[in-house]
């Protein structure tokens, strides 16, 4: 395997933070562990957590360079997922184009890769450096199927419809077309994202899931697990796009025929009050355990002691929670949408094709398939074994070796 000098652009990059920060962090340490000389440009507010860990573990060939605008600018954009934060991310990309000039002149990089945040709505200006540039893995093509928005609030419906409409602008965006033109490779999370890129650049496109697991998993499976109670769990944001409404209605259908099942719900979110009212409406609240947001090690312990993760997310380019479940030999029931649809098959879980099905049809299929599991210990054990096999296909090492072979 060739050894390269690689510059990573990772706006989000912190250890033990999950989601986007973990993506940036894992690309950095995995490439350095493979022997590449890795330089990471990231935000100054990530420095403290990064420096503590790299000083303790002494990573080789790994160097961090920090950039942020003055504090008064950073305070202006304080908050998450708001227009000001997106604007700051955009101008941060401009800032690092200039702040890395001396570094690029000093070190003859073989590649530049933009790893976080990566969206088809935001260009990267590092592509103008005349160094082979890799954009991604990029997401942004995931949409909620229209027929599954019917139970959404008016606000969420409008928000998703506007998102779907804005996707059409990507193909004609001058800045995005400049990024595509100057990229050696464009890594897309799924085929929906590829379709948002102009056809003339499709020869540069490769599919690669945006997320991964740190190491191979060799967990032993508890073959003597007590199945007097069938434990289902959900973990994620409590919002409509994550499909929690489908989770509750599926559980209600299952519970009407089998009282020996339990549902644990992990997470918090903007639609929590709405969903708790749904649980009361369907008279299932006594069989639900609402845990709120808890530490990751506690989540993994719950996964280890559960029989199924029910995660029918309606729009999800990644799905870290799916990989975490598989790593604990926990089968996953999901929809054939986005990242979870790419990770799960009917050996390691349950995957429901959406096509033009409405919510009731999906709930019926899910509950039917889950019922087949409830009284079939041998099928559960089979799927638990296949879960461990499946997760080992998504290690960061495999992804990095594939890209820089």
We report the CATH number of the domain holding residue 88 as 3.40.50.2000
In a domain, 283, yes or no: yes
300 & 388 share domain: yes
Q: What percent of the chain has pLDDT over 70?
A: 94
Give yes or no: residues 80 and 93 share one domain.
yes
What's the confidence (pLDDT) of residue 302?
A: 94
Q: Do 73 and 107 have their domain in common?
A: yes
Q: Is residue 223 part of a domain?
A: no
CA distance 100 to 122: 19
CA pair distance 367, 363, nearest whole angstrom: 6
Mean pLDDT, residues 49-76 taken together: 84
Same domain assignment for residues 398 and 371:
no
> CA-to-CA distance for 330 and 217, rounded, in angstroms?
12
Residue 225 within any structural domain of the chain: no
**Same domain assignment for residues 196 and 327:** no
What tens digit of pLDDT does each residue of 310-320 get? 999 998 877 88
H or E stretch at 176: helix 174-181
Q: Range of 118's domain?
A: 5-214+394-403
Give yes or no: residues 103 and 237 share one domain. Answer: no
Is residue 66 one of the residues assigned to a domain?
A: yes
Per-residue model confidence as pLDDT tens digits over 283-321:
998 889 999 998 888 998 999 999 999 999 998 877 889
How many whole angstroms separate alpha carbon 170 and alpha carbon 173?
5
Structurally, the chain folds into a number of domains equal to 2
Q: Are residues 184 and 235 in the same domain?
A: no
Same domain flag for 66 and 202:
yes
The answer to whether residue 162 sits within a structural domain is yes
- How many Å apart are CA 115 and CA 141, to the nearest integer? 17
Same domain, 101 and 136: yes
**Do 315 and 367 fall within a single domain?**
yes
| Residues 26-60 pLDDT 10s | 999 999 999 999 999 999 989 988 988 887 777 88
Does residue 126 sit in the same domain as residue 161?
yes
Q: What is the 3-state secondary structure (H, E, C) of 314-363?
A: CCCCCCHHHHHHHHCCCCEEEECCHHHHHHCCCCCEEEECCCCCCHHHHH
**Same domain (yes/no): 197, 236:** no
Q: Rounded to the nearest 5 degrees, what angle is found at the Cα of 290, between the Cα atoms of 286 and 292? A: 170
Work out the mean pLDDT of the chain and round it to a whole number.
Answer: 88
Residue with the two structure tokens 């991310």:
89
In a domain, 221, yes or no: no
User: What's the CA gap between 405 and 400, in Å, rounded?
Assistant: 8
> In angstroms, what CA-CA distances link 118 with 73, 114, 181, 193, 394?
22, 7, 16, 12, 19
Gap between the Cα atoms of 207 and 137, Å rounded: 8
Torsion, CA 26, CA 29, CA 35, CA 40, rounded to 10: 100
């Amino acid at each position: 395997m060739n050894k390269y000098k690689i510059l990573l652009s990772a706006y989000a990059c912190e250890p033990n933070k999950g989601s986007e920060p973990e993506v940036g962090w894992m690309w950095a340490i995995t490439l350095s562990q493979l022997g590449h000389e890795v330089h990471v440009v990231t935000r100054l507010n990530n420095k403290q957590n990064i420096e503590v860990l790299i000083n303790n573990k002494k990573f080789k060939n790994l160097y961090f360079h920090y950039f942020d605008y003055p504090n008064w600018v950073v305070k202006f954009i304080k908050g998450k997922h708001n227009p000001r934060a997106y604007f700051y991310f955009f101008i941060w990309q401009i800032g690092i184009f200039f702040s890395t000039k001396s570094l690029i002149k000093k070190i003859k990089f073989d590649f530049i890769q933009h790893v976080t945040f990566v969206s088809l709505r935001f260009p990267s200006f590092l592509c103008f450096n005349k160094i082979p540039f890799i954009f991604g893995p990029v997401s942004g093509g995931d949409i909620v199927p229209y027929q599954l928005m019917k139970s959404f609030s008016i606000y969420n419906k409008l928000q998703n419809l506007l998102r779907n409409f804005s996707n059409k602008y990507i193909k004609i965006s001058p800045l995005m077309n400049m990024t595509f033109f100057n990229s050696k490779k464009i890594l897309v999370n799924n085929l929906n994202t590829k379709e948002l890129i102009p056809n003339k650049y499709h020869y540069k496109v490769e599919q690669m899931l945006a997320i991964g697991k740190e190491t191979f998993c060799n967990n032993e499976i508890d073959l003597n697990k007590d199945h007097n109670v069938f434990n289902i769990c959900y973990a994620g944001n409590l919002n409509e796009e994550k499909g929690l409404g489908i989770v509750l209605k599926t559980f209600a259908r299952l519970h009407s025929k089998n009282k020996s099942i339990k549902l644990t719900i992990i997470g918090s979110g903007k639609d929590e009050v709405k969903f708790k009212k749904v649980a009361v409406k369907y008279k299932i609240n006594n069989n639900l355990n609402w845990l709120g947001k808890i530490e990751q090690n506690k989540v993994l312990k719950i996964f280890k002691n559960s029989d199924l993760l029910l995660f029918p997310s309606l729009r999800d380019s990644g799905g870290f929670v799916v990989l975490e479940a598989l790593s604990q030999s926990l089968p996953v029931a999901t929809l054939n949408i986005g990242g979870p649809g790419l990770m799960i098959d009917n050996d390691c879980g349950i995957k429901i094709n959406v096509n033009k099905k409405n919510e009731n049809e999906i709930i019926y299929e899910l509950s039917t398939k889950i019922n087949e599991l409830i009284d079939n210990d041998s099928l559960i054990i089979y799927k638990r074994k296949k879960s461990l096999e499946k997760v080992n296909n998504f290690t960061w090492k495999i992804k990095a070796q594939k890209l820089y072979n």
